[in-house]
């Protein structure tokens, strides 16, 4: 059954100043956080198995927001650049596989320190270290001709390092079939190759246990996590791995480089 929607007068909300300069990003993130429960439609996070234990370790309340607003808050926290705070956006898989996607989609936005994040995404620091190591060895962006080419090369090298260091524990460049309306159940399957038409890729996928997965998204440019990408890989992941009940998504940016 679809979750009860908030009253109509609570559905419309806007964030002002998300695109503030980096120097005011911390203030913007704090200001947005202060609106929780006042201007945003929210709901309590449903109890779903082992994910509850993982979420209970966090300092943030177990509440959800409409996914578009959740990503605005998430991206504001990321833009703040606090080295001691890690932002995670989380979604329940059942929204994407049991018909709820016809209505509003919800997500949680969590803030935690490194040790807390490692309690439920154990390889977070390892993936971050790979990003740092790759960026430190690549040299100036000018050598690659463009930011896009730099990013492409970064992703290739990072994927190679993930396979070399954590083969079997982390899946690098995991490709799945992109969402397709009316697709038969057999459409979403494991073992999709990168060249297969209609496929999409996750940078790094960590299956923590039978019910929980962490998705790491490498970023080297200015682009932030977008609603469509969040929905696409959440939907495809939920259909490809039907036992997983919750996905945690963490953006990974190298803390050294790229060098200009």
Give the pLDDT mean for 130-148.
92
Residue 176 CB partners (closer than 8 Å, separation 6+): 188, 190, 192, 199, 200, 201, 202, 233, 236, 237, 239, 240
Residue extents of the structural domains in the chain: 18-252
Verdict on whether the full-model pTM lies above 0.85: no
211-249 confidence digits (pLDDT tens): 889 999 999 988 888 888 888 888 888 889 988 888 888
CA dihedral 90, 94, 100, 102 (to 10 degrees): 80
**pLDDT, mean of residues 51-79:** 64
Determine the Cα–Cα distance for residues 81 and 192; give it in Å rounded to an integer: 35
Q: Given the DSSP bridges, would you call strands 63-66 and 43-44 parallel, antiparallel or unpaired?
A: antiparallel
Looking at per-residue pLDDT, the higher value among 8 and 210 belongs to 210
Percent pLDDT > 70 in the chain is: 71
Kindly tell me the number of DSSP H helices and DSSP E strands found in the chain: 8, 8
């Amino acid at each position: 059954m679809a979750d009860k929607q908030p009253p109509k007068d609570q559905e419309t909300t806007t964030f002002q100043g998300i695109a503030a300069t980096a120097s005011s990003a911390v203030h913007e993130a704090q200001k947005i956080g202060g609106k929780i429960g006042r201007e945003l439609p929210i709901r309590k996070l449903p109890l779903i198995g082992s994910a509850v234990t993982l979420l209970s370790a966090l300092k943030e309340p177990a509440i959800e927001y409409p996914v578009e607003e959740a990503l605005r808050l998430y991206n504001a926290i990321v833009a703040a650049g606090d080295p001691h705070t890690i932002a995670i956006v989380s979604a329940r898989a059942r929204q994407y596989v049991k018909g709820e996607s016809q209505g509003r989609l919800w997500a949680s936005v969590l803030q935690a320190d490194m040790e807390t994040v490692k309690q439920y995404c154990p390889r977070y620091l390892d993936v971050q270290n790979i990003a740092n190591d790759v960026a430190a060895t690549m040299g100036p962006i000018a050598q690659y001709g463009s930011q896009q080419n730099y990013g492409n090369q970064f992703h290739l090298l990072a994927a190679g390092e993930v396979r070399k260091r954590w083969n079997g524990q982390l899946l690098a460049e995991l490709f799945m079939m992109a969402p397709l309306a009316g697709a038969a159940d057999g459409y979403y399957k494991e073992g999709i190759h990168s060249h297969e038409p209609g496929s999409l890729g996750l940078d790094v996928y960590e299956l923590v246990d039978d019910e929980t997965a962490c998705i790491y998204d490498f970023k080297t440019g200015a682009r932030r996590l977008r609603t469509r990408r969040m929905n696409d890989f959440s939907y495809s992941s939920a259909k490809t791995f039907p036992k997983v009940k919750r996905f945690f998504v963490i953006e990974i940016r190298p803390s050294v480089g790229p060098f200009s």
